[in-house]
A = this chain, B = another copy of it.
Amino acid sequence: MKQNLDVILLAGGESTRFWPFSYKNLTLFLGKPLLRWHIEQLQRLGFTSAIIVGNKESIDAIQEVAIPKKFTVSYAIQKEKGQGYAIMAAREILPESERGLLILNASDIYEDELLIDVCEAYNDDPTALYQGAMKVNAYFPGGYLKLNDKGNVTEIIEKPKPGTEPSDLVRIVVDVVSDKEKFFEKLEKHGKHPINGYEGVVNKCIDEGAVCKPVITTREWLYLKYPWHMLTVMDSCLRTIEGRNIAPSVKIGKHVVIEGSVIIEEGVRICEGTKIVGPCFIGKGTIIGNNNMVRQSHIGENCVTGFNTDITRSYIGNECWFHTNFIGDSVIGNNVSMGSGTVLANLRLDESPIFSTIKQEKVLTGRSKLGACIGNNVRIGVNVSTMPGIKIGKGAFVGAGVVLGEDIPDGMYCRISPTVIMSKNTKSALGSREEFKKKI
């Protein structure tokens, strides 16, 4: 498809709610950073260039993402937070043209169909504004679209009070700006509000007569906001795997069973008695130990899963070491290790929805099963238990036997207070167990 839009990828948002992880757009899925997935998608849909807007902290790392051949990326740095500032930063390096602008958010994941829809709509009528939206059937704390009887957007209303929503359409960042110059002018004047500077400008354009049409996604919105969103994005990436892709150098032990679609990269070793249930990704050089269960999971490079580990519906970064662990519905960063017997609980006793604490507030995660989110460079001792929805900050250490019911900030050491009692032993060990042995 020939594309008539210039693309701006917003990658300069903050990641504070993504803690204990950082730089959402650089997270690796199937060995590729999320930004690269976006670029490949754009290329697949006929685009040949994009502007990526980062911020001061992330721009260096962003520029290290490898760009595919025949695609051109320019980089801009936004000065303050907010979509308005991002667009203004992009404007500086935007080529002169009559083409419209397609604005996408690099921490959202878009299905091809939605982008095709919006591009085709623009081709049909390049004078209108377009606004992506998803249908919700419960209150969502975002911007809502108010429509007129022709179905066009008359206003974007930021976070209306529950019960006052103007429609069931929540705005997502698939924004098409036509008549750029007029838009930029307004943006310079009114677009500096960090929350709804951009939306305010759209509203102004509509007030002055612009037509704004909604483009509605047909599936659940996928995005990285909270750390557990890694799991939904992982699922989406794992579903792209087709068939068995096992590198020739992979060593597979006896009595291993591999089902479903998998990518198993070079140098991986899978030891005896292990079962892999796809879709799964196992990165270069990783050793999956004996008698493991790995299901619907994403395991990075150079990990060692050890003896008897169960990794289920989880995202594991690079260089992690496990040993007889249960890791279910969890997100683990890079260079994390766990001692034998450590379990990341993923289901509440009352099976109620799992919440997590974000900036002192309980946030419902929307998941009935969720383990832990563990930052880079964490060390966890033996026989530790973490409660569902717990987060562990970067560089934290957790001592043996801890039952962890609250988040650990970055760089803390959490241990149990010693509670052992020593007294003289009045009993003694019996020697013979022949009777037991007969029953084995």
Q: Name the contact of A324 in the complex, choosing from B326, B395, B424 (C-beta under 8 A).
A: B326
Q: Min CB distance, A83 to chain B, in Å? A: 37
Closest chain B residue to A434 by CB distance? B302
In the complex, per-residue mask of A390-426: 1 if CB is within 8 Å of any chain B CB, else 0: 0000011101111111001001111111111111111
Binding stretch for chain B, among A52-60, A69-77, A338-346: A338-346
Most chain B beta carbons < 10 A, residue from A397, A403, A418: A403
A424–B328 CA distance with the chains assembled, in angstroms: 28
Q: Name the contact of A408 in the complex, choosing from B291, B321, B422 (C-beta under 8 A).
A: B422
Q: Name the contact of A423 in the complex, choosing from B380, B413, B424 (C-beta under 8 A).
A: B413
Q: Are B343 and A382 in contact (CB under 8 A)?
A: yes
Q: A273-B255, A401-B403 are in contact. Are A350 and B379 (CB under 8 A)?
A: yes
Instruction: Check: A349 CB closer than 8 A to any chain B CB.
Output: yes
Q: Are A420 and B404 in contact (CB under 8 A)?
A: yes
Most chain B beta carbons < 10 A, residue from A396, A420, A436: A420
Instruction: Check: A78 CB closer than 8 A to any chain B CB.
Output: no
A421–B253 CA distance with the chains assembled, in angstroms: 43
Q: Are A341 and B396 in contact (CB under 8 A)?
A: no
Most chain B beta carbons < 10 A, residue from A335, A347, A387: A347
Binding stretch for chain B, among A149-157, A187-195, A303-311: A303-311
Q: Are A304 and B437 in contact (CB under 8 A)?
A: yes
Q: Are A413 and B424 in contact (CB under 8 A)?
A: yes
Q: A310-B324, A324-B310, A339-B343 are in contact. Are A426 and B401 (CB under 8 A)?
A: no
Q: Min CB distance, A255 to chain B, in Å? A: 5
Instruction: Check: A427 CB closer than 8 A to any chain B CB.
Output: yes
Q: A350-B379, A417-B419 are in contact. Are A411 and B397 (CB under 8 A)?
A: no
Closest chain B residue to A326 by CB distance? B340
Give this chain's copy count.
Answer: 3
Main secondary structure of the interface of A (DSSP, over half): loop
A350–B431 CA distance with the chains assembled, in angstroms: 10
Closest chain B residue to A350 by CB distance? B427
Instruction: Check: A428 CB closer than 8 A to any chain B CB.
Output: yes
Q: Are A326 and B341 in contact (CB under 8 A)?
A: yes
A347–B433 CA distance with the chains assembled, in angstroms: 12
Q: Name the contact of A400 in the complex, choosing from B335, B345, B400, B418 (C-beta under 8 A).
A: B345
Q: Name the contact of A319 in the complex, choosing from B290, B382, B423, B431 (C-beta under 8 A).
A: B431
With a CB–CB cut-off of 8 A, which chain B residues contact A253?
Answer: 257
With a CB–CB cut-off of 8 A, which chain B residues contact A377?
Answer: 428-429, 431
Instruction: Check: A237 CB closer than 8 A to any chain B CB.
Output: no
Q: Are A254 and B257 in contact (CB under 8 A)?
A: yes
Instruction: Check: A1 CB closer than 8 A to any chain B CB.
Output: no
Q: Are A437 and B400 in contact (CB under 8 A)?
A: no
With a CB–CB cut-off of 8 A, which chain B residues contact A307?
Answer: 293, 310, 326
With a CB–CB cut-off of 8 A, which chain B residues contact A399?
Answer: 349, 403
Q: Min CB distance, A368 to chain B, in Å? A: 8
Q: A340-B326, A345-B339, A428-B395 are in contact. Are A416 and B413 (CB under 8 A)?
A: no
Q: Are B304 and A440 in contact (CB under 8 A)?
A: yes
Instruction: Check: A92 CB closer than 8 A to any chain B CB.
Output: no
Q: Min CB distance, A268 to chain B, in Å? A: 13
With a CB–CB cut-off of 8 A, which chain B residues contact A257?
Answer: 253-255, 272
Closest chain B residue to A387 by CB distance? B400
Closest chain B residue to A336 by CB distance? B429
A-B contact pairs, 22 of them (CB 8 A): A254-B257, A273-B291, A291-B291, A291-B293, A304-B433, A304-B436, A308-B308, A335-B429, A339-B345, A349-B380, A349-B399, A349-B427, A350-B379, A378-B429, A379-B429, A383-B403, A387-B400, A395-B428, A397-B425, A397-B429, A402-B420, A416-B421
Sample of 13 more A-B contacts, CB < 8 Å, known A397-B429, A401-B401: A272-B275, A287-B437, A304-B436, A307-B326, A319-B431, A321-B433, A339-B347, A352-B427, A395-B425, A412-B424, A413-B426, A414-B421, A417-B419
User: What 3 pairs across the A-B complex have the smallest Cβ distances?
Assistant: A401-B403, A350-B427, A413-B425
